[in-house]
Structure 1
Amino acid sequence: MHLFYPIGTFYPAQSGGPSNSVYWLAKALVRQGVNVTVLSTDTDQPDNTLRNQWLTTEAGRVRYVSTRHHNLPWRSIWQSWQLIPTVDLVHLTSLFYPLSLAAAVMAIRHQKPLVWSPRGELAPAALALRPWLKQLVLKGIRPWASRITFHATSREEMRQIRTHFGPDVRVVELPNYLELPPLLPPSVPGALPPYLLYLGRLHPIKALDRLLEAVALSAVFRNGPWQLRLVGTDASGYGATLRQQADALGLGHRVSIEPPVASEIKQRILADAHALVLPSHSENFGNVVIEALAQGTPVVASLGTPWSILPAEGAGFWVANDPATLAATLDTCLSLPTGKYAQYRQRAIALATAQFDIRTNGHRWLSTYTALTTNQLTTPLCVE
């Protein structure tokens, strides 16, 4: 079986979740004997990444195509068109990226099985950005929806897919699986002030303004030694707005806005946090939640995320993201007795390991791809 992933950015780029999640999936499939080809632009690649040549990697055959304008990847489109007739299945990771749209046209033309992952792009908050253009694209996809297998990472995303493409559209529901990092030992107690952590894109859809209001309302936060660290990419200058808000709330000395981190530094920041907070208005998944859980760090996630499993498994909290509710939840989280907090950390590790480790769950994707390439997958389903 030969699988093809045309994608905007790919590991070692860190431009969003698919850069890593597709990389981990491709590696898991290669370990199971699958022939994998990845074609990516060179957006956000390190200078030492080899461009415009096929590389043999743990994730299969990979090519990073030099691209002057990320949203006009003409060379990537042309090369994907040349590849698609030779593969068995095409898997796309964006509904609106030009490379995905062009690859979809070619896959349908050549009657190749096509899997399409919206990756949160159908959430109302996401569709509110440039809505006229996105509605035009969705209108163009609808006539071909019966030829597509959509991938949802949650039941809410499955509902969104059916809302836009019809109740009978074929959907497979599978979470993102991660290559879990090693569990880091605890840092020396007292080496850093205790802190809450947000790690991800600094963007209004992440509701970080509400998180700032919440910590301002949290009596336990304000009356204790706690810090709030906001760590991530700030492409639009939103960090300056958050800094002004923190200063206005009297939290300038308690809130730090920090650049993105990777590798062991990222894992250390996650491991040492008292809790990760993901207050987003909308989130189709949130890989960082699994990364935090894998380091034993409990998570406070909003109802706009698909993380209802957190309280069910005793690994965190799933609450509305209005400031008052968030503040009350933070008070609870920051006041947990030592023994109870230790239980949260243990359950966090157990949840990440059992349900989201690509090493033990990669076979679920292989089963799905096999069913599609042999015409055995004909109805919407959730792979167990």
Structure 2
Amino acid sequence: MKILVIIPSFYPYIENGGPIIYLNKLFKKLSSNKINITVLTSKYSYTNKEHKIKSALNINKNYEVKYYPITFGKVSIKLCYSIIKEINKYDYVYFNSFFNIYLITTLLFSNKKIFLSPRGQLIAENIKKKNHFIKYLFIKIINIFDKKIFYIFSSNFELINNLYSKIYKYELIPNSASYEPIKVTQDIFRKKSKFKTKKILTISRLSKRKNIDLILKAAAILRNFYFEIIGPDFGQLNQLFDQVEKNKLKNVTIIESLTTEQIRKKFIESYIFLLPSENENFGNVFLESILHFVPIITIRGSYWDEIIKQNNVGLSTKKCEKDIVLKIKQLDNLYATLKLNEFKNVQKIHNTEMISNKFLKTFHANC
């Protein structure tokens, strides 16, 4: 069985966000079962970070990643050519992204069904915020191929909030874990509730829709909590630094980038994970937090809001610093009563093996 994966940017370009770490782990799992995985991607970095990588990387004997240089802007002509050349040599084609020339190239030259994960790019609010008319026209072009596309959405929120697209067939497959769950004792929450220094962790792109400014406003009220914000700059870093300086927020640290192992250490040390980000189709960082048995605060209406209603692993907040403050206080008060099994239940439904099996069943059943 041979699977071709097409994605505009991929591991080790983790600064580009999205499901890059989780997909790399998922493909390792699939390839360990004698499934051949080939990833076609570019060397594009949203933060202009350079990675010293060759044109091809063999992860294992069944899993290869091919990287193509950028020709101009975000486009790699060599990647487009490779798609045309390679696309019909595989049993299945999985495309992860949406608004780019690579998707049009894939649909034009493939003689088989395309399994397409739009990565939240079709969510109505995300479309309306920037280049609305151009995106509308792009979707109309893609809709011509609607019966050739099988959509894979990572959450029901992403499905019901999509705009303009013709959804002929689809499957809901949540993202799997980027990390393995850590080992903890039964009294982990009781012990952490007594910590003198309680760290509120945020890991995210530093962009406007992530509402990091609301976290800083909450930090100005909750001076007895320590806030760590980690992520690459997507146009808001200087504004956030100004906000920290203006309000003399000595309880806030902003770090632009860390390695995956350093991030794992930050999760282990943290007390609460907080990210009031809007219009997330999934949000892998919330799952990563739960894998480290750290309760979450997410925004209402998100995928994780639904998870919280079924499993007591955190709280949901309004888009408002006063409500964020209230939820931090509430979670602090009930912290010692949190149950290990609630976190393990969430970990189980996002297990890598379970998700990889669901992918394979979806491929087999819909070709």
Give the TM-score taking structure 2 as reference length: 0.89
What is the deviation of 1:37? 1.2
In 2: Cα distance, 1:19 partner to 1:58 partner: 20
Residues 1:83 and 2:82 are matched in the alignment: no
Could you tell me which of 207, 213, 221 is aligned with 1:209? 213
Cα 1:268–1:192 shift into 2, 3 Å: farther
Aligned to 1:331: 329
Q: Greater shift after overlay, 199-208 or 126-135? A: 126-135
2:297 partner letter: V
Q: Could you say if the C-alpha distance between residues 34 and 5 of structure 1 is closer, same or farther in structure 2, counting changes exceeding 3 Å?
A: same
In structure 1, the residue matched to 2:347 is 353
Query: Which residue in the other structure is 1:118 paired with?
Result: 118
Residue equivalent to 1:370: 364
Instruction: State whether residues 202 and 275 of structure 2, in contact with CA within 8 Å, keep that contact through their aligned partners in structure 1.
Output: yes
2:166 aligned with 1:177: no
Over aligned residues, Cα RMSD in angstroms? Answer: 2.5
Contact 1:18/1:93 (8 A) holds in 2: no
Give ranges in structure 2 of 5+ residues lacking alignment.
none
Instruction: Give how far 1:172 is off.
Output: 0.7
State which drifts further: 42-51 or 312-321. 42-51
Residue 264 (structure 1) aligned to one of 252, 261, 264 = 261
Give every structure 1 segment of 4 or more consecutive aligned residues whose post-TM-superposition deviation is greater than 6 Å.
188-192
Task: State whether residues 287 and 347 of structure 2, in contact with CA within 8 Å, keep that contact through their aligned partners in structure 1.
Answer: no
Contact 1:298 1:348 (C-alpha < 8 Å) held by counterparts: no
Paired residues, what number?
355
- Describe how 1:1-384 pairs up with structure 2 within 5 A: 1-14=1-14, 15-44=16-45, 47-51=51-55, 53=56, 55=58, 57=60, 60-69=63-72, 71-107=74-110, 110=111, 112-127=112-127, 128-161=129-162, 163-166=163-166, 169-181=168-180, 183=182, 193-217=197-221, 221-222=222-223, 224=224, 226-236=225-235, 238-248=236-246, 250-307=247-304, 308-336=306-334, 339-341=336-338, 343=339, 346-347=340-341, 349-373=343-367
Q: What is residue 379 of structure 1 aligned with on the other side?
A: none
Q: Distance in 2 between matches of 1:348 and 1:286?
A: 19
Deviations 1:234-282 (A, max 9, x none): 032x11112222333x342121111121222111101111111110121
| Other structure's SS at 1:241 match | helix
- The one-letter code of the counterpart of 1:258 is I
Q: Secondary structure at 2:366's aligned position in 1?
A: helix
Normalised by the size of structure 1, how large is the TM-score? 0.85
From the superposition, tell whether residues 59 and 295 of structure 1 become closer, same or farther in structure 2 (CA, over 3 Å): farther
Q: CA separation in 1, counterparts of 2:61 and 2:214?
A: 41
Amino acid at match of 1:277: L
**Equivalent residue of 1:23, what SS?**
helix
More displaced stretch, 206-215 vs 297-306: 206-215
- SS of corresponding position for 2:316: strand
Shift of 1:192: 9.0
Identity of aligned residues (%): 21
